[in-house]
Every structure is written in structure tokens, then in C-alpha cells.
Structure 1
């Protein structure tokens, strides 16, 4: 059933207005509402409160199992995965304004937009294109690939657990440190699997060389791992127009296709 869920979510994201997932960002809303109420709680207690929706999901998933031939379970899994995908649409319209500036060769406007929208500060057009590539790679990794990885491995509990931790680390409250640590642990394996996918669809030897450097490295931030491997798989970013962004987008789409095909084959076994 997981492959059917994946297929339905991809179709919804691609062909409906829900390109950024479920219209209501319930995961962020839960974290935002909880954080001020837990300011004086013990970190483990605050973390337990953050992850408490997992218990409700587990109970609901168990109750719906086998009901109406699994249709309600299918709908529940699709809904949870839509709640867990990223909200920025990095493969869609996130970079539209920047693309327009780059197509006009207006590097000053592009730099200002990159700083305003993404917090990226660069010195020259080459740095700007490289930074934008890295931002697209990481936004797509934590927005799509990592939740997908944990859904395929642990079901909806895995995807929702990661997204709760990822959102929980963004607030100043007792659970932030524990959320960041656990989030880092959950990102370690999928970002390296994604890096291997980049190697298969990009510059294999260059990407594999970077992957080897990170295989035994626990402390490196997942965003830096994805960015470095992705850049190695892409090579030097193009200097004309939006070519650098287009290269990164194509790399990510090919990597996503590999994941879908591999899971389809596993589902058939």
C-alpha cells in the first residue's frame, strides 16, 4: 500500500493546488501552540508532549486497519504524508522571482531577493548561483526525501515523527535541543542515501568521493552533506541565466524517480 500512497501524494502535489501539502500546516501549528505552554517543563516532558500526536496516529491507524478494505487507512496515510511534506515548493514556484531576475541578468536584484527570502548573502554571481543550488537541494531534501524515507521505513509514524522534531527545534523552548539532536539522527541515513542517488544520476566519481568523506562523520550538519554531495554531482554551476537552478532541479527529479522506481520494485517482491 505504501507505493500507492506515494503515487497518490506525488499526483496531488503535481496536479492539484496542494503543491505545498495539506492547506493547514497542523504540524507547525501544534509546535507553535505548545512551545509557550512548556517553557518551564523538563526537556524530556516537553519532548513527550511534542511527540504526543504519534500516539493518536498509532491508535487511529490501528482502528482503521482492514476497515472498508483498507480505504480509510489509505486516506489516512495520504493525509499524514501531505502534512509532512515541506511547505516551500522548492521544485515549483519557490524561486520564481529569482528566476525572473536571473533571466534579466539583474544580479543585484537577485542577490537582494536571495537575502530577503532565504537569508543568503553572496559576493558575486558565481557564489549566488552556488548558494541557490545548495538551498534548493536542502529544501527538497528535508521537505520531501527525508519524510518519504521514514514513511517507507516506518510508515506514517516515521514521517510525522521526523516532521514534529524538525518543527520543534525551531522554537525557543525546553524541547528544542532534544528535538535538534533527534532530528539530526533521523537525517543522517536518508541524506547519505540521497547522496548516493545523486551519484547515480550525476557525476558519479565526484559525488562518491564526497560521500566517502561523510560516511563516518556523525557531526556534520545534514544540510551541508546534501549540499556538498549535490554540488559534486552537478559540477561547476552554469553562469548563464537560470541554468544552475535548472541543473539542481533536474538532478533532484532524477533522484526522486530512482526512489520511486526502487520502491516499486521492492513492493513487487
Structure 2
């Protein structure tokens, strides 16, 4: 079995089952300190304050990870590289647990607690929207940033890809974004959107496979998914359409032959945040599709 697949599965299982461990190690204060140090040392007219100035902050940590990645690739039949990959992927995953955050949002009893729970799905300083469609989009956007983006770049580039994606995301939308000059922050957000684009496309494909293909394809086309656009808005449109279709199908399953909704159908329609439940279900099914396809690539010999 591929080292890549083993590292991905082990890191995913650890992240889900060892949540206290994950919460204790996934801290990025050092990165904010690093950005603050650079900002305080470089003058106003330096490359750092330009659109792609973030590269100055990314190169040193990613170079160090690359050197470790290369050095550990061969020793002990690759076991060193496997362990290093698991550690880096586990560190870059999340950092918050998506399941727990969705559950907290779905079970919020009042407006204040619902707004507090929803704030965890929005970028630093963002104002959360509490309508069902916006929350569905937020779940998928966070799935991309917390899970799929890290996994995709890990599969493509190894540990340096996973950590690189996480550092760019933190600089664009996390606490570290406060340390960046305006032009540098704009460049970081553009870079994050570029890194997200292929991931969002593959998430859409997975949604088409686990949900209603025609619904997903139609929403993808109507929202501009067929053309390159760094805003990646098509993922939100596809997410809304998929969840709406799922809810409609579930309700239809409980409608009797007479066409009258049963008690179960009414209970489903009035249950707490059914759109969040279905959104999280679709996210998990999409992740399983990714892992199944990766396993097929391993069997076919396309992944080392």
C-alpha cells in the first residue's frame, strides 16, 4: 500500500479520534510571531509589502520541511518519511474539528449561541450569516479549508504541500492575517483562492458522485464552474443545490402513496438544522470517495 495513502488514513483517524491531542498541538502562534518579526524589520518600500510578499515568510519553513522530507524518504525503507508525513498532515489538518463545530451550531438553542457557533465558520473578523443556505456554504467552505485543501496538496506534494496550504490559509484568513500589510494580505488571499480552485473542482466531482449528478452539474454550470474564476463561488452554489436535493429526497421517502406527508416527514422538516446534518453527511461521503479513488490509484500503481 502506498505510503501516501497510509499517512493520509492514519492522520485522518488520529484527527477524528484523538481530538484533545489535536487541540493541544495545532497551535500557530509561532507563525504569527514570524510574520510580525518580518513586518517590523523590512522597510515600507520592500518586496514584503507588495502583492506577493508572503513568499518571504513561506520560503524558510517550507524549505526546512522539504529538506526533512527528502532526507527521510529512503532511510528505514521509507518509515521515517511515513512518520514525518503523518505528523505534518496531522498538524496541518483542521485546526478545529469540523464535526464538533457543526454539531455545536446545529444544537444551538438561542440566537446568541447560534451566532457564536456560526462565527467559527467565518474568517477572522467576518460577520456570520445565520440563514440555512449561508450555513450550508460555510460548512463546505470549511471542509475545503480544514480537510480537502490540506489533503489535496499533501497528496500532490507531500508534507510540504500540506503545511504550505495551511500557512497560506492562516495568512489569508486566520489570526496571522492581522500581521500582514494590506497589499500583502490581498496577495495571500489571491494565492489561497488559486490553491483552492482545483480542490473545489474535485469536491464538486465527488458531490456529483455521492449525490444527484444532474443537480450538481446544473448548479456548477450556472454558477460559472466551467470557467476559471478565483472566487470559487461555484462550490457554494453546488453545496446549496445538493443539500436542497437531499432534503427533498428524504422528505419524499416519507410521503405515503396517497401523497399525504407522514408524521415522520413532518418531524424531518421541523428537526433542528436538517440542512447542516445533510451538509455534513455529504462532506463525509465526498471524503470517502476521495480516499477510495486514491486507493484505486495505489492499486493501479499511479501513486507511490
The answer, yes or no, to whether TM exceeds 0.5 is yes
- For normalisation by structure 1, the TM-score amounts to 0.85
Q: Does the alignment pair 1:95 with 2:102?
A: yes
* Greater radius of gyration (CA): 2
Q: Does the alignment pair 1:211 with 2:216?
A: no
Per-residue CA distance 1:231-268 (angstroms, 9 max, x = gap): 11121665521321110111011101100000001011
Partner Cα distance (1:76, 1:197) in 2: 28
Partner Cα distance (1:22, 1:111) in 2: 22
Compute the RMSD of aligned alpha carbons.
Answer: 2.3
Q: Does the alignment pair 1:194 with 2:187?
A: no
Partner Cα distance (1:4, 1:137) in 2: 25
Partner Cα distance (1:132, 1:195) in 2: 18
Give structure 2 stretches of 5+ with no counterpart: 122-126, 248-268
Matched residue, 2:256: none
Does structure 1 retain, via aligned residues, the 8 Å contact 2:105–2:118? no
Matched residue, 1:165: 168
Matched residue, 1:139: 142
Does structure 2 retain, via aligned residues, the 8 Å contact 1:31–1:50? no
Does structure 1 retain, via aligned residues, the 8 Å contact 2:58–2:164? no
Does structure 1 retain, via aligned residues, the 8 Å contact 2:35–2:57? no
Matched residue, 2:6: 4
Matched residue, 1:72: 80
Does structure 2 retain, via aligned residues, the 8 Å contact 1:50–1:164? yes
- For normalisation by structure 2, the TM-score amounts to 0.76
Q: Give the 3 Å change call, closer, same or farther, for CA 96–217 of structure 1 in structure 2.
A: same
* Shift in Å, 1:214: 1.4
Per-residue CA distance 1:173-224 (angstroms, 9 max, x = gap): 24323222221111111101101111111121111112223120414x23x3
Q: Does the alignment pair 1:234 with 2:243?
A: yes
